[in-house]
Structure 1
Amino acid sequence: MLWAKSLHIVFVASWFAGLFYLPRIFVNLAMEKDEAATARLLLMARKLYRFMTMLAIPALIFGLWLWLGYGIGKGPGNGWLHAKLAVVVLLIGYHHACGSLLRKFESGSNRHSHRWYRWFNEFPVLALLAAVVLVVVKPF
């Protein structure tokens, strides 16, 4: 179980690095006027999105392994796990939203300002805080 837990933590941390950084690239893309710089940022964003998707998959697999294989969070008094799973579902949605926003930048149809992306970038910080508190404190 400790191997699965360790690998889950490593892949979650790696996935979050992408969730933190990709919207920062979006901030720069929303502000950029130079075509060459825009092309470079889009290349970076595409590569990062592909890489963070590859990191999310084992993070989710190891999390499922801990939950289903080892029974973590089963039984009474484990409402924290249901709340954490809700946070994970929201993060998966956020990940896909990043992909959708990237496609809009690629097609030249972005409608959001750099300020919007700065606020958009705050969600993974709050989600990480919620997930860590739920797992460590287990408030319910």
Structure 2
Amino acid sequence: MTIDALAPFYPWTKALHLIAVIAWMAGLLYLPRLFVYHSQVPAGGAQSALFQTMERRLMRGIMNPAMIAVWLLGLTLVLTPGVIDWRAGWWHTKLLSVLVMSGVHGHLSAARRRFAADERPKTERYWRMVNEVPAVLMAIIVIMVIVKPF
């Protein structure tokens, strides 16, 4: 199903979607790095409190609104006539990658709440590895959208 009335707004929708993706990705790449540093400081101290503030503001002020915008604008693009060839396979991979990215976001959100409670949910090494996941997913998504390999 497409909605013909969306077609004239396609360039704006696409531009706003890309801006939201950039903001979301910035947060997804930065928050695990903050967790790496947060894992290195003692719980309950001034440094821990500073990291908690930074993490909360990043999640609530940038990441959550950006993710919501990505999904709403992305769905709008999907409903715009001529944007998706439903017979092509690339969009399935892109959609799966975006779903996994949203799961990573949820995982980071839960971890942020645990850090806010002065818990250390995972090791520094774990957060270093998690820090790579959004970059890999981003590469897959960009290749699917630009190259459309299948």
- Shorter-chain TM band: over 0.9
2:93 is aligned, of 83, 94, 114, to 83
- The answer for the alignment partner of 2:123 in structure 1 is 113
Deviation at 1:105, TM superposition (A): 1.1
Distance 2:37 2:131 in 1: 12
- The runs of 5 or more residues in structure 2 that have no matched partner are 1-9
Distance 1:83 1:111 in 2: 30
Deviation at 1:71, TM superposition (A): 4.4
Pair 1:4 & 2:4 matched: no
**How well do the aligned residues superpose, as a CA RMSD in angstroms?**
1.2
- The runs of 5 or more residues in structure 1 that have no matched partner are none
Distance 2:143 2:64 in 1: 24
Alignment of 1:19-98 (within 5 A): 19-33=28-42, 35-51=45-61, 52-76=63-87, 78-98=88-108
Count of residues in Structure 1 that have an aligned counterpart in Structure 2: 139
Distance 2:121 2:98 in 1: 27
User: TM-score of the superposition, structure 2-length normalised?
Assistant: 0.88
User: TM-score of the superposition, structure 1-length normalised?
Assistant: 0.94
**Percent of matched pairs sharing the same residue:** 35
Runs of 4+ that moved beyond 4 A: none
1:129 is aligned, of 135, 139, 145, to 139
Amino acid at match of 1:56: M
Q: Secondary structure at the match of 1:70?
A: coil
